[in-house]
Chain A
Amino acid sequence: MIQACGVGLEYADHGKSVCACAEIDLEVKPAEFLGVLGPSGSGKSSLLYLLSGLKRPTSGRVEYRGTSLSTMQDAERAALRWSKFGFVFQQPYLLGYLTAVENVTTGCPGTTMEEAMERLSILGLAEKAHRLPHELSGGERQRVCVARALAGSPEVVFADEPTANLDHTKGFEVVAALLQNRGEGALVLVTHDPAILKDANRTVTMNDGRLSCGMAPTRD
């Protein structure tokens, strides 16, 4: 579904060229749970940005269903992200002036309040649907983010260290919520914690911007 071929990303930092990712070949298959493991600064978040079209690669190409993301206009890539992809970031980013249910409607075009409410109910947040983000706990906010990412049943959900700011129990709850509710969608989850990826169909490891030769155990 998503194919990365020889992908690299370099950027300038104080006049120096920094390589965030290099020569990455990777495929995201439909409905799979792909884990990306690596220490802090290994380039795994950059890889996620490249695969999701948030950044353009400086070398190689990323294709979505045979179409290169690099040749797409910004507006096309934005439309793709909004309609086909879902995102969960490390911080539970929510719009502070919108209620939980309203935040969920922003995840995908055409998401109604009823659909958003249903998503929250599935995640056990029905009673808190009309609360503002500051009235929710960190774990609850992250679950609202999960509900938002799953709005519109995306083809791929990209999760960037979604458990980093949560304790172990809550972290597992969030990952479980993603896994149980993603339907037919693929899940690409970036983390430094291997325990989170115990249910992954496949795990790749990154070090210094490159995929390690040895893949972590794969679960079918």
Chain B
Amino acid sequence: MTRYPLAPVTFLTRNMTKIMPMVGVIVLATLLVAGIVAIMDSIPLSIRTTYGYSKNYLGVSPRGDNDLTPKLRRILEEESPVPIGDLMTCRASNFEVRSIVGPWQFVIIGLHDEDVKPYLDRMGGGKLVGRLPKAGLPEALVSAPLARNLGLGIGDQLLGPNTQDSYSALPVKVVGIVENPLWLALTSFEYLALYHLPPIDLLIAMSKDPARQAEMDSWTVARFEKERARVFTFAELEKQTDKMFEILYMILNVVIGLLVVVITVMMSLLMGIYVGQRMNEFGLLQALGFTRERLVRRSLAEALIVVGLGWASGVLVSFGFLSLIKAVLFEPNAFMLDPLAPRAYAYTLPIPVAIALAVSWNVVNRFRRFDPIAVIERRSA
């Protein structure tokens, strides 16, 4: 197929060495912005993933008086508009997991023997390597991502007396690892009751229909507002996470805004040089009979192709880079990173838009003051 010699693509494909620096700048800018946003986003994503188990149930803790637990249980049983499947009493304690921003507190839940299987079923089950913890013994069951995060295998210590942040009076060893994508850590109710504070019985409430858990969560939060109780739901976690990152994202927006301005100015200058180098060509074409409008359209088309190519390549390079660091750095530690996060790429959109606007202005402005005769005579001189 013969391409029209003056098609924008002809110039671009035959002058790759001239356009590559501009494409490269846009690629790097896109990579920079997408990389920053994706890595920043990995923090709330990690929170949502690490504590994702709480999507499957709600937790209720009495405030100040352990004797309130039976009353709270009764309210749930008698008043919940959503039918309850399992209602478990448990104990909980904290230990540390590793995250991209340092250690995070995670919860180990102590369950009665009869509750362990329903609990795991609710979480989606999974192949169990090893066995379940025995009542009263310093044993724990963890899920595969958690084991990967802490580098644990069967027989390794999860909690112990020799660590301040994952403390237990006795060395708590991992006796089972369940192949489940959620982060889970379980021990026996009896062991936590014997060796861990606070001595508070918590409630775990699961809706009968898992699809109605969120509905039950909302009702419980509203119903227990005036009770001496605290309700833990996934929705609350999301709300807290969003609030926590509100200011961070505001700062991020400013940083990216500045970045876009700097890159746009830089690209505008580069494009100015690029268009300036071609004024002889435009002068000749205008002398031959090409209209100014046609040349402006052609220059704009070329500029937009460069910008579009740069951005599209930038998105691909970003995806490749993020996938690489996910595979090499994040996955082995069970850290979260989504190389396909739409938000990361949405944040890069102002780059091509701002550059396209600045370059269009530059091109139109140059042609407004352009006299082809001056170009031809200058070259003749």
Partners in one complex: yes
Q: Measuring CB to CB, which residues of chain A are less than 8 angstroms from any residue of chain B?
A: 45, 49, 54-55, 74-75, 78-83, 85, 87, 89-91, 93, 95-98, 102-103, 105-107, 113, 148, 161
Q: Which residues of B contact A83 (CB under 8 A)?
A: 289
Q: Are A85 and B289 in contact (CB under 8 A)?
A: yes
Q: How far is the CA of A71 from the CA of B15 in the complex (A)?
A: 39
Q: B71 interface residue, CB < 8 Å from A?
A: no
Q: How far is the CA of A45 from the CA of B378 in the complex (A)?
A: 13
Q: Are B289 and A81 in contact (CB under 8 A)?
A: yes
Knowing A74-B292, A91-B379, A93-B376, say if A106 contacts B286 (CB, 8 Å): no
B361 to chain A, nearest CB (A): 21
By size class, the interface of chain B is 20 to 34
B285 closest partner in A (C-beta): A106
Chain B binding surface, main DSSP class: helix
Q: How far is the CA of A49 from the CA of B286 in the complex (A)?
A: 13
Q: Which residues of A contact B291 (CB under 8 A)?
A: 74-75, 78-79
Q: How far is the CA of A93 from the CA of B377 in the complex (A)?
A: 11
Give the top 4 A-B pairs by smallest Cβ distance, nearest first.
A82-B289, A81-B289, A102-B5, A97-B14
13 additional A-B pairs beyond A75-B291, A97-B15, beta carbons within 8 Å, are: A54-B373, A75-B293, A78-B289, A79-B291, A89-B287, A89-B376, A95-B284, A97-B10, A106-B5, A106-B6, A106-B285, A148-B288, A161-B380
Q: Are B289 and A80 in contact (CB under 8 A)?
A: yes
Q: Which of A81, A93, A107 contacts B379 (CB 8 A)?
A: A93
A73 to chain B, nearest CB (A): 9
Q: How far is the CA of A101 from the CA of B80 in the complex (A)?
A: 83
Q: How far is the CA of A62 from the CA of B372 in the complex (A)?
A: 20
Q: Are B289 and A97 in contact (CB under 8 A)?
A: no
A75 closest partner in B (C-beta): B291
Q: Which residues of B contact A103 (CB under 8 A)?
A: 5
A19 to chain B, nearest CB (A): 16
Q: Are B15 and A87 in contact (CB under 8 A)?
A: no
A20 to chain B, nearest CB (A): 11
Q: B281 interface residue, CB < 8 Å from A?
A: yes
Q: B249 interface residue, CB < 8 Å from A?
A: no
Contact with A along B274-302 (1 / 0, CB 8 A): 00000011001111111111000000000
Q: Which residues of B contact A81 (CB under 8 A)?
A: 287-289
Knowing A79-B291, A83-B289, say if A93 contacts B284 (CB, 8 Å): yes
Q: Are A113 and B2 in contact (CB under 8 A)?
A: yes
Knowing A91-B379, A102-B5, A106-B6, say if A54 contacts B372 (CB, 8 Å): yes
B199 to chain A, nearest CB (A): 82
A94 closest partner in B (C-beta): B284
Knowing A91-B380, A97-B10, say if A49 contacts B290 (CB, 8 Å): no
Q: How far is the CA of A97 from the CA of B372 in the complex (A)?
A: 20
A116 closest partner in B (C-beta): B5
A101 closest partner in B (C-beta): B5
Q: Name B347-381 residues within 8 Å CB distance of A.
A: 372-373, 376-377, 379-380
